[in-house]
Amino acid sequence: MGKNLANGDYDVLVAGAGAAGLFCAAQAGRRGKRVLVLDHAAKPGAKILISGGGRCNFTNTKLGAENFLSENKHFCKSALARYTAGDFIALIEAAGISYHEKHLGQLFCDHSARDILNLLLKICADAGVEIRTDCPIREVTHGENFTLHTAQGSFNAPAFVVATGGLSIPKMGATGFAYDIARQFGLNIITPRPALVPLTFTGEISAWMEGMAGVSFEAIVRFGKQTFREAVLFTHRGLSGPAILQISSYLPAGAALAIDMLPGANAYETLLAAKAARPKAELKTILAEHLPARLAHGILQPPLTNRPIGDLPNKALQATAHTLNHLTLTPAGTEGFAKAEVTAGGVDTNDLSSQTMQAQAVPGLYFIGEAVDVTGWLGGYNFQWAWSSAYAAAMAV
């Protein structure tokens, strides 16, 4: 699609036909640049299509630097300010794509994530961008220009944008290509790790959680000063759900997290009030009014499960209340890159310009999107980083 210059020269070569790569290519093409996008996959935008449950959570209206993790927490500010959530929303609206806010500022397509992919492909086509799929890059050399040696020939340009993402969801084609290129040109890599990822447990707690698989409840999940109030979901291997995915990005290996299963309520005061008002009600019955019944029954050990609350000493209620408000758990690990929504870590921001995403020591080499050590929260933040970092690079190439 667009200009086909065969093995001739281009102004910009983009590796990766995902959200960041396509958007960068379109914006550079609109500036009159001759742009070629290369991707090893058979079709562009595979991850876009599965995002947001197939509806693509394309940005978030409540967005700031505090919603991103990085070794340099200030790095993302410039790009996010230059191309904002409002800018992308304006593009969506101009294209006639209907959308809705789910909660917490999260914006989703009304119909399908394909609306976003089709929009990206259209603005690329309108800008004369060429896209080649089934085109793995075998080698990158650098002389006067960057030369990409591929299965479909060799391509040259003075600017090379790496937008191949991180290691998350390898079954969708994720690779460490961006890190390989960064290392080739002397850039540092912050060790990549799974982020926004389910947590796993072993031993007795694992068996108990497996029995709870499928149960979901609202909670406040804490690690250090970081807290998230969203749903928690038990799985056959441990814990998932938005609150768990969020805290996973902050949780070091071997560290414990705390879960408040009655957010906004003092569990001990709640139980004492129930004891005074309904002494003949069983404790599990009282708890089931605040939690899913299976969880309410599952957190109680005999003889608490089948005794009237009025017969229980306050000390027993206090212990139960502590579990409800301060359940402390230490995961054995995570479900890894296979189930991680994104990759934390990546190309060290100290080696990049926050204004342009260009490598400080290698003029013409750019890294954008998930490949960079900037990782957003769950809820459209990583897509906005893709749009914003892509725009910053596109204005500079």
Both tokens of residue 308?
A: 């009237």
Amino acid 330: pLDDT: 97
Name the CATH topology of 12-192+345-394: FAD/NAD(P)-binding domain (3.50.50)
Calpha distance 326→306 (Å, rounded): 23
Amino acid 302: pLDDT: 65
Cα 347 from chain centre: 17
Amino acid 1: pLDDT: 40
* Segment 347-361 mean pLDDT: 98
Residue 19, pLDDT > 70, answer: yes
Residue 303, pLDDT > 70, answer: no
Residue 8, pLDDT > 60, answer: no
Q: Quick check: do 12-192+345-394 and 198-335 share a fold?
A: no
Nearest partner of 3 among 26, 35, 28, 31, judged by Cα: 35
Average pLDDT across the chain, whole number: 95
Amino acid 306: pLDDT: 75
Encode burial over 160-185: b for 16+ CB neighbours within 10 A, e otherwise: bbbbbbbbbbeeeebebbbbebbeeb
Residue with tokens 């408000």: 325
Domain residue ranges in the chain: 12-192+345-394, 198-335
Residue 203, pLDDT > 80, answer: yes
Count of beta carbons in the 10 Å neighbourhood of residue 321: 20
Give every CB contact of residue 123 below 8 A, 6+ residues apart in sequence. Answer: 26, 30
Residue 47, pLDDT > 70, answer: yes
Amino acid 304: pLDDT: 63
Amino acid 2: pLDDT: 40
pTM: 0.94
Name the CATH topology of 198-335: Elongation Factor Tu (Ef-tu); domain 3 (2.40.30)
* Segment 50-55 mean pLDDT: 96
pLDDT digits (tens, 9 = 90+) for 68-119: 999 999 999 999 999 999 999 999 999 999 999 998 999 999 999 999 999 9
